[in-house]
Chains A and B, each alone.
Chain A
Amino acid sequence: MNPAEHRPNFADPIVTRRDFLQRTGMGFGALSLASLLGPEFLADAAMGSTNPLAPKTPPFPAKAKHVIHIFAEGAPSHVDTWDPKPELEKWAGKELPGLRGSAFPSPFKFSKRGKSGIEVSEVFPKLGEHVDEMAIVRSMYTDIPAHEVAQVFMNTGSLRQPRPSLGSWVTYGLGSENQNMPGFVVLRSGGSKPSMTACCQSAFLPGAYQGTMINTAHLRSDEIIENIHNPFMGLPEQREQLDFVHKLNEVHAAKLQKDAQLEARLEAFEMAFKMQTEASDAFDISKEPLNVREMYGTSAQGNQLLIARRLVERGVRFVQVWAGGWDNHNDIEGNLPKRAEEIDGPVSALLADLKQRGLLESTLVIWGGEFGRTVTYDRNGNEKPGRDHNNKAFSTWLAGGGVKGGHVYGATDEFGSKAVENKVHVHDLHATILALLGFDHTKLTYRVNGRDFRLTDVAGNVVRDIIA
């Protein structure tokens, strides 16, 4: 490792010069450090990095530079999708040993797919073609089988206390490559879920790391980002006006006040100006050629994933796509395939498209929910049966971005009721995602009131086996 990179604190986003001194432990008493490193260094760090989203290099080399997190909220059934359990057939309708309720074998067939021959459910005919890109973790588990709390936990590593979300941490650690766009974008369609705000919050990290929520159901450019559109004047007029503002600022700087933060504010206006066109452009999928549009399909879900690719392509660091609808308490045989079909094509298209553009290598794609489902009938005994909540087992897959493809990690017990082999907790998944992005999760910290906080709290083991 390059020793220069092992100064994680200096690479941290510097919010203000005072903040710089504070977060890096360089209070008044630490001035000797300035002399150690030389005044140029200090001046650089203090003057140059007032932009919290300035791109940063992670401490370790990493392939993944961007993340698309497809959040299958609602808790998809693992035994009907990625985790085949033929043993359940033998127990169909009978009480399973050690479990309450009668066994409910999957109504779907599994078959070997790809070169790796990983078994995938028939509900994902197209995604099955991509198993050789995926590391499928079949041994996920989490702390609680209640949707909202588990969703917040999956996204922040904390059940109740307000903590920064995964996307916020990643953006804090890496900044963003496109200064004309938010670094962390959350795509939803239609209504917001109650847990959504908590799931993309920056908590004690600066507000710049908060996920910008975008409702793809109404893609009006002025609704993408607040105040992105000026209803009073066109861009050329505004350009002229901004040039004049800069002149005013020059006078101010020359005659009255010079300061790094003033320059940063000036830059922010320039970024904002460009953002007006660039942000609208990023969301404008009509600019895609027809064959690409067709590849993703014209459903809202397809549009959403196409937008995700356009964002990543433009350097947005973290895109989260809410793709829920998996809470199959009843009629899993009828409902789950419908939902699966809605994402099967678009997500396959996303993987193929990223690959053909050479973006898959640098983009970590994650698909998974907040927990899994029971292998027995739903307790409410619906006529067409479904499955209940189960936090002891679920499947999540990762692809691209340095992930070992065609790989299955961990296993549930013979029925799929709980993870037993190489168990992966939510904290472990977080640690692994950060590792794929070039971070030691124990060292990506932020100091608040005398304590260094991190995404994985006091836990988390990196699953090395799924890293290529």
Chain B
Amino acid sequence: MAQSFRCAGALIFSVGFIFIPALHAEISKEQQAFFRERIEPVLSDNCYKCHSPAQKVKGGLALDSREGILKGGDDGKIIVAGHPSDSMLLERLASKDPDEKMPPKDGPLSAQQLADITEWVKMGAPDPRSAPAGYDTASAKAHWSWQPLRNQPVPAVKDAVWCKTPVDNFIEAKLETAGLAPSAPADRSTLIRRAYYDLIGLPPMPWEVQAFIDDKTPKAWEKVIDHLLASPHYGERWGRYWLDVARYSDTKGDPGKKQNPLYVDAWTYRDYVIDSFNKDKPYDRFILEQLAADKLNLGPDKSALAALGFITVGDRFNGNRNDVINDEIDVVSKGFLGLTVTCARCHDHKFDPIPQKDYYSLHGIFASTVEPKDDPVIAGEGTPAEYQAYVHDRDVALNEAKKFASNSLDEIRHDFREHAAAFLLASRADGPDRVKLIKDIGGPPKIMQQLAQALGRRLNFARRDPVLGPWARYAEIPAADFAEKAPELTAEIVAANDPRFQVNSLVLSMFRNKSAPKDLQEVASRYQELFIQVDKTVEPPKPALLAMASAAAVPGALAPISAGQRDLEEVRLTPLRLDPEKEFDEKEIAQKLPPRLAIQFQQKLSAVSKVELTHPGAPKRAMVVEDAAKPQNSPVFIRGEATSKGDIVPRRFLEILSGPNRPEFKEGSGRLELAQAIASPANPLTARVMINRIWEHHFGDGFVITPDDLGTQSGPPSHPELLDYLATRFVQSGWSIKAIHKLIMLSAAYQQSSETNPAGASADPGNRLLWRYNIRRLEFEPVRDSLLYISGRLDLTVGGHPVNILSEPYSLRRSVYGFVDRGNLPEMMNQFDFANPGMPLGKRHETTVPQQALFMMNSPLMIEVVRALLKRPEMARAKTDAQRVHALYWMVYQRQPKPAEIELGIGFLKAVEAEKSHEAPLPPPSAKPADLPPGKMTKEQLIAMRKEKFQEMRKGGGFQLQNEGEKVARTPLTPWEKYTHALLMANEAVYYN
């Protein structure tokens, strides 16, 4: 396999039950059962060994799939459906001829088995195993989701009284067809909790619940919705959903060697998303900005440039450009269009009508899009004093890095100049010879070795180097021919009339008016002399790099230097010469340094990044893109391999959405045109995909349960008419997301109780028809946020630099501001099903694992919350135990406790209190398993230990943000603390109904 990625689109047929409606219609339930019970086991036990691609495919015959059986083998078809006597399959199964019979060794099948197979062929060989391969373009194009939106009429229903909004008519119509009825309305405390969690991801405060219960006006519910939609915390909740889709992360994942692993400016994209939701930015505008803010007329406020983070915050795939582009195509196509376009990277999409050339049309757009070296500043941050402090802190860190680089380079150059001849000869030598030469030089062998190696590689490309060029050319002459060929080359060098080989004047003087060198040794010696001279002549000035860098900081301030000085400097900076015109270029410096020094340098740079990432005075910068100077179309990569290029395809939109005669994109990269094609009211997918996402987050599932794929492989929508109705309204309302929230939440369907009932449970166990509201589990963020919120400690500041939300001392900020490291996602976030930032994700997993329980049971954060909660004024005001229980129920569950619950609580408190006298002492913190001897570390393990920091730094793992504050006191819990802790652990605290 020549290339890695080999297709995300490769297709594996599952033998399971993928119901293709047409196929399903042809095969009756009885036939399916017959096949599953009587035929398939016989085939798999007796035939798959030789006739299935997973094992062998003898005679070209595969029997483990429907297609295989229909296709037959090398000898032709094996089945004539309906005609057992004409079917070779039965002939062979029944044969006694040792050359013919099947199965060849074990056979023959039992009489019953033969009879079954005969019967099955007679039935027409109904085979439910898999979908037919390939797709029928015409029928695929007819797939519902790429048909124009239809403005659906509101259906008439029998129970019109139940319907509060047109949404309800659509829901009720389906329920009536299925013979089901909607559930009763939820009570008010349930309802307001639902609304709060749905819209802002935080619970209501007790008084907010009470006010809603007491509000008897007809607009009470609407007021709650309006209040929440106007809350700045709405954007934090809904922005996070979009950040899942945008695979948001503060790190590069696989940054590539010697690259900074951090995205110090990614958070401005996160804040842009939150702000856009808060402002109810029209969704079409939201799309345009995320794809092409650089090409829009933004006016004086450039903050929308941060939107381009949508393109840039993905993984860097070790610097592989085509993988990065693939990721960009993926996020754009799944995110906005619910299309798996990246399946067409290596070949035409197997299911959806997306030809491979359409993938490369988009490839051209992103290949013609580049990132400028520096992210532009879009807004100041903090007070002027904070900014000054930031500039100072950053300069300190940066100078540290520069000083390190400059010193390292100068030291290496000095070593080189002192031993130039030996190095030059060593770089040409091989094997043990080289080792010996280097050993003779002395000095730390590792660095010497590395330098000689680096030089050796460099020399392969050094023929045109003004200083080392002549050396490289002499070194090419085989030793035996040297005496003969050297004069010729010397003359050529001295003549200096070949524009390809510009030689430094000082180097030239080593050969001009001198006899030709008699061997390579002599060339090396001459170089050695020159370098020693230069070493003496040049007073190593202020570190060259610093001079360069400070000069670059003041444009035009580079002092003019004479040609002679320049040549001197050129020799002095060999072999690690940096382009004097270039400013402090971290990438280039890192490349010049031997690996170990490069890593140390990277660590210094990382300190700079940390200041940029976290300093309150750091200006906001946008992770922008811009069009390449020369936008270009991309060729199709045959089988997805960049090395085998096929036809060049124009940059343009997908055929399935814009027809065969769609225009080519002409404006720069074409990103703006792409964005316009996506954000167009005529695009049937854009509105549907977003409406489906919104519905999912209100009900737990979308109309289509795969929010990132509305293609032919997605299940049919539960309410296609309602989806279109809402999508049409969405476009007509000017793409207002908040208007859609309100339309949905005002419906009776949304306000139903989540109580189950036998009729619904048996007819529609998955509640696809919404005969009740789904019980909803809180995700990681609202769980953590709620804990801090009800304890009165949550910091409600909106926006800002990322923080560490997981470790002690705990940050009090909302979880959406947590630092996200895609290369090293903390185990806790994994265990709580946090969205994997490796891919666009419209729907998180919802697992229940013991590690989640361990967090609730044992994490110090829980105890911090418990203690803060008990210090709230409501608790101080409560006079009796019953009143205290009452107050806790209101704060934790936002409802009145039932008398039995108060009794239960007081009973627990009393029992715990009674035991207090013989309460076990606190277990020692972090007990070591009993007297475990540490075990002698092997040498390799010791080395591995030492490499730890080194390696982690390289990939950015281990980058830790540390919060300030105090750790939770490890003191025993009081009975009230145990009780409160228990309330927080119970199911009711992490679910809403």
Chain B residue at smallest Cβ distance from A162:
B838
Q: How far is the CA of A85 from the CA of B949 in the complex (A)?
A: 39
Task: Let me know if A16 is at the binding interface, CB within 8 A.
Answer: yes
Q: Is the CB of B926 within 8 A of A220?
A: yes
Q: Is the CB of A3 within 8 A of B5?
A: no
Task: Let me know if B644 is at the binding interface, CB within 8 A.
Answer: no
List B contacts of A198 (CB < 8 A): 254
List A contacts of B660 (CB < 8 A): none
Q: Is the CB of A230 within 8 A of B952?
A: no
Q: How far is the CA of A26 from the CA of B982 in the complex (A)?
A: 38
Q: Given A9-B17, A160-B4, A450-B711, decide whether A271 and B855 contact each other with a Cβ distance below 8 A.
A: no
List B contacts of A464 (CB < 8 A): 55
Interface residues of B, dominant DSSP: loop
Q: Is the CB of B851 within 8 A of A272?
A: yes
Q: Is the CB of A29 within 8 A of B21?
A: yes
Q: Is the CB of A272 within 8 A of B857?
A: yes
Task: Let me know if B621 is at the binding interface, CB within 8 A.
Answer: no
8 A Cβ contacts from B740-783 to A: 754-756, 762, 764-766, 768-769, 775, 777
Q: How far is the CA of A275 from the CA of B831 in the complex (A)?
A: 15
Q: Is the CB of A189 within 8 A of B937?
A: yes
Q: Given A6-B41, A377-B431, A442-B53, decide whether A240 and B911 contact each other with a Cβ distance below 8 A.
A: yes
Chain A residue at smallest Cβ distance from B985:
A245
26 contacts between A and B (CB under 8 A): A8-B15, A18-B766, A21-B768, A27-B705, A27-B768, A34-B765, A52-B847, A153-B4, A190-B945, A198-B254, A204-B839, A207-B847, A220-B926, A227-B857, A230-B923, A232-B860, A233-B978, A236-B920, A237-B920, A258-B756, A272-B853, A272-B854, A284-B929, A342-B939, A442-B54, A458-B7
Q: Is the CB of B898 within 8 A of A255?
A: yes
Task: Let me know if B321 is at the binding interface, CB within 8 A.
Answer: no
Binary flags per residue of A145-163, CB closer than 8 Å to B gives 1, else 0: 0000100010000111110
Partner of A159 from the list B4, B10, B849 (CB cut-off 8 Å) is: B4
8 A Cβ contacts from B938-991 to A: 938-949, 951-952, 954-955, 957, 970-973, 978-979, 981-983, 985-988, 990-991
Task: Let me know if B900 is at the binding interface, CB within 8 A.
Answer: yes
- Chain B's nearest CB lies how many Å from the CB of A57? 15
Partner of A269 from the list B37, B853, B993 (CB cut-off 8 Å) is: B853
Q: How far is the CA of A34 from the CA of B29 in the complex (A)?
A: 11
Q: Is the CB of A299 within 8 A of B935?
A: yes
Partner of A217 from the list B6, B945, B973 (CB cut-off 8 Å) is: B945
List B contacts of A367 (CB < 8 A): none
Task: Let me know if B658 is at the binding interface, CB within 8 A.
Answer: no
Task: Let me know if B505 is at the binding interface, CB within 8 A.
Answer: no
Q: Is the CB of B44 within 8 A of A275?
A: no
- Chain B's nearest CB lies how many Å from the CB of A407? 19
Q: How far is the CA of A197 from the CA of B16 in the complex (A)?
A: 32
Q: Is the CB of A189 within 8 A of B941?
A: yes
- Chain A's nearest CB lies how many Å from the CB of B243? 17
Q: Is the CB of A286 within 8 A of B929?
A: yes
Binary flags per residue of A11-39, CB closer than 8 Å to B gives 1, else 0: 00001111111101111111111111001
Binary flags per residue of A199-242, CB closer than 8 Å to B gives 1, else 0: 00011101110101100010111110111111111101110111
- Chain A's nearest CB lies how many Å from the CB of B840? 9
Q: Given A194-B951, A249-B986, decide whether A231 and B434 contact each other with a Cβ distance below 8 A.
A: no
Q: Is the CB of A445 within 8 A of B14?
A: yes
Binary flags per residue of A248-259, CB closer than 8 Å to B gives 1, else 0: 110111011111
Q: Which 10 A-B pairs have the closest CB atoms?
A: A191-B948, A27-B715, A450-B713, A325-B940, A159-B4, A284-B929, A381-B431, A9-B16, A272-B853, A190-B945
- Chain B's nearest CB lies how many Å from the CB of A452? 4
Partner of A204 from the list B12, B836, B859 (CB cut-off 8 Å) is: B836
Q: How far is the CA of A197 from the CA of B769 in the complex (A)?
A: 41
Q: Is the CB of A452 within 8 A of B978?
A: no
Task: Let me know if A362 is at the binding interface, CB within 8 A.
Answer: no
Task: Let me know if B662 is at the binding interface, CB within 8 A.
Answer: no
List B contacts of A31 (CB < 8 A): 764
Task: Let me know if A112 is at the binding interface, CB within 8 A.
Answer: no
Q: Given A162-B838, A381-B431, decide whether A339 and B940 contact each other with a Cβ distance below 8 A.
A: yes
Task: Let me know if A440 is at the binding interface, CB within 8 A.
Answer: yes
List B contacts of A385 (CB < 8 A): 431-432
List A contacts of B713 (CB < 8 A): 449-451
Q: Is the CB of B987 within 8 A of A249?
A: yes
List A contacts of B926 (CB < 8 A): 220-223, 229
Q: Is the CB of A1 within 8 A of B44?
A: yes
- Chain A's nearest CB lies how many Å from the CB of B605? 18
- Chain B's nearest CB lies how many Å from the CB of A198? 8
Partner of B932 from the list A7, A225, A286 (CB cut-off 8 Å) is: A286
8 A Cβ contacts from A328-355 to B: 338-339, 342
Q: Is the CB of A248 within 8 A of B449?
A: no
Q: Given A244-B982, A442-B12, decide whether A42 and B715 contact each other with a Cβ distance below 8 A.
A: no
Q: Is the CB of B14 within 8 A of A447?
A: yes
Q: How far is the CA of A59 from the CA of B690 in the complex (A)?
A: 39
Task: Let me know if B833 is at the binding interface, CB within 8 A.
Answer: yes
8 A Cβ contacts from B868-926 to A: 898, 900-901, 904, 908, 911-912, 915, 919-923, 925-926
8 A Cβ contacts from A279-303 to B: 280-281, 283-287, 298-303
Binary flags per residue of B409-447, CB closer than 8 Å to A gives 1, else 0: 000000000000000000001111111100100000000
Count A-B pairs with CB separation below 8 Å. 441
Q: Is the CB of A381 within 8 A of B849?
A: no
List B contacts of A445 (CB < 8 A): 12, 14
Q: How far is the CA of A230 from the CA of B858 in the complex (A)?
A: 5
Q: Is the CB of A380 within 8 A of B849?
A: no
Binds B, one of A260-268, A398-406, A414-422: A260-268
Q: How far is the CA of A28 from the CA of B174 in the complex (A)?
A: 12
Task: Let me know if A96 is at the binding interface, CB within 8 A.
Answer: no
Task: Let me know if B317 is at the binding interface, CB within 8 A.
Answer: yes
List A contacts of B925 (CB < 8 A): 222, 229, 231
Q: How far is the CA of A29 from the CA of B838 in the complex (A)?
A: 31
Q: Is the CB of B827 within 8 A of A212?
A: yes
Q: Is the CB of A160 within 8 A of B5?
A: yes
Task: Let me know if A143 is at the binding interface, CB within 8 A.
Answer: yes
Task: Let me know if A443 is at the binding interface, CB within 8 A.
Answer: yes
Partner of B939 from the list A230, A245, A252, A338 (CB cut-off 8 Å) is: A338
List A contacts of B833 (CB < 8 A): 206-207
Q: Is the CB of A207 within 8 A of B930?
A: no
- Chain B's nearest CB lies how many Å from the CB of A379? 9
Q: Given A236-B920, A268-B848, A459-B1, decide whether A257 and B972 contact each other with a Cβ distance below 8 A.
A: no
Task: Let me know if B109 is at the binding interface, CB within 8 A.
Answer: no
11 more CB-based (< 8 A) A-B contacts, given A34-B765, A452-B13 = A3-B41, A6-B36, A25-B17, A25-B18, A29-B21, A36-B33, A143-B4, A231-B858, A248-B983, A252-B988, A299-B937
- Chain B's nearest CB lies how many Å from the CB of A95? 12
Chain A residue at smallest Cβ distance from B921:
A234
- Chain B's nearest CB lies how many Å from the CB of A106? 18
Task: Let me know if A62 is at the binding interface, CB within 8 A.
Answer: no
List B contacts of A248 (CB < 8 A): 901, 904, 982-983, 986-988
- Chain B's nearest CB lies how many Å from the CB of A145? 13
Q: Given A251-B900, A272-B853, A449-B340, decide whether A144 and B991 contact each other with a Cβ distance below 8 A.
A: no
Q: Given A442-B54, A445-B12, decide whether A257 and B944 contact each other with a Cβ distance below 8 A.
A: no
Q: Is the CB of A380 within 8 A of B453?
A: yes
Q: Given A207-B831, A257-B991, A339-B940, decide whether A179 and B850 contact each other with a Cβ distance below 8 A.
A: yes
Partner of B941 from the list A22, A220, A301 (CB cut-off 8 Å) is: A301
Binary flags per residue of B128-152, CB closer than 8 Å to A gives 1, else 0: 0000000000000000000000000
Task: Let me know if A192 is at the binding interface, CB within 8 A.
Answer: yes
Chain B residue at smallest Cβ distance from A188:
B944
Q: How far is the CA of A342 from the CA of B941 in the complex (A)?
A: 10
Task: Let me know if B11 is at the binding interface, CB within 8 A.
Answer: yes
Q: Given A16-B846, A381-B432, A451-B340, decide whether A210 and B901 contact each other with a Cβ distance below 8 A.
A: no
Q: How far is the CA of A23 from the CA of B260 in the complex (A)?
A: 39
Q: Is the CB of A251 within 8 A of B44?
A: no
